[in-house]
Structures are given as structure tokens and as C-alpha cells.
Amino acid sequence: MAYFLGRDVEVAITTENTEKGLDYSNNGSAVTVASGVSGTGMMARGGGSGSDGADDDEIFESQPSNFSTNPIKNLVGVDLTLGAIDEDIAYMGQRTALKAEIKKETSVTLTMKKNESFFDALFNSARYGVDSSNALTNMGLTQPDTEFGYRVHVALKDGTEVISVPNCTMSEHGVSLNADGVQEETVTFISHVTPIIGTGPSSDITSATNL
């Protein structure tokens, strides 16, 4: 587990869909699917260009105020946990059990000052992202495909390393209050696909064998 202060990292979130981002209205209504360029809540994978890897640099560029996740504003802290789910297998006649890795488990928890209801709407209506048919998978009752979920990019501000976590689902969302009345919200994304570590954000589509 690694914890980063918000002043040390930048975080950007996109959909896994190649062409579709998310629209959001400030009245707190549910998010809807929109083209990657015109979406007002979240860009599509690849910087909203509609093609893989074409505009990776745009992911961390300062976007108009109507974009909620590129990059994340008012970030307080990031809790990044890289791990794996193991299964114990015992063989008859052997005293030592085999511990076999079943799948990866990566979680990213973001703590932010709350200034809008975008993540409230996201948790209520689109916690599983957009699928390859350009539809919201808000119920999570369909078989995941390669464009399922969200992609979370965590970059050190010195520009030396970026961790891209593909095919995330939004698992938790909460709002906290303290005695001074300052609101913070916490959002947790979980992925079972191997994260990608490099010098820049990765927007390469996930292969079917990695799901």
C-alpha cells in the first residue's frame, strides 16, 4: 500500500470506451453517455480523441471547468494498493500447500474536497462505466468486455512515473463531515487487471485474455 498527498500526484480518470465519455449536469441528475470530445463529466480513453493513444498527453492537461476528472480537482490524498488474490491448494500426502495466484487486485482510493455532485451521480447510475455498445453498465449484470469500466491514471508530479489501472469499477463512495463543516468525499476504484507502469499514461485497449 502506498499513500500519496494530493500535492505530490495528479490523478485523471477516463472511461475504457474508445469513443464515449460521460455527460453530467450540475443539478445532480444521472450521468449519460456522450461523445468523447463533448462529454462534460469524463473523457473517453485516449484523451477523448476517439482513437487509442492519440492524445495521451491531454489526459493530465488542465481541462475546462465542466470536466470533473481530467485532472481531479481539490485532491487531498491517494491510497494505492497493489496486490493479488491467492488460493490455497492442498495435495494429499504433502504437508506444504500450494499458494496459487488467481488474479490481481488493485484498489485506488481518492480523497477530495467536495465541490460538486458528479461522483454521487456516477455511483448511482454508472459505477461500472460504459461498455463496447456505448451503453451505461450501471447494474453490472452483464459479462465484462474490453471496454468495461474506467481507467485511473496516477502520476507523480515530477513526471517520472505513471501508473494506469485499467478496467476499474467504482466500488465505494462516501462523504464525511467534521466539526468545521468542511466536506470531503472518498471514492474507491477496484480492478482485477494488471496495472500498467510507465513514463506516461497508457491508453492501449485491454486484451480479452487479460480480463
Judged by average pLDDT, the poorest of 8-17, 108-117, 178-187 is: 178-187
Specify the higher pLDDT residue, 45 or 36.
45
pLDDT for the residue numbered 52? 47
User: 181 lies in which domain range?
Assistant: 2-210
- Reported as a single tens digit per residue, the pLDDT across 101-116 is 888 899 999 999 988 8
C-alpha cell at 66: 465542466
- Decide if 14 contacts 45 (C-beta within 8 A): yes
Give the predicted TM-score (pTM) of the model. Answer: 0.86
Query: What type of residue is 166?
Result: P
Q: How many domains does the chain have?
A: 1
Task: Report d(CA 204, CA 27) in Å as an integer.
Answer: 34
- Count of positions (residues) in the chain: 211
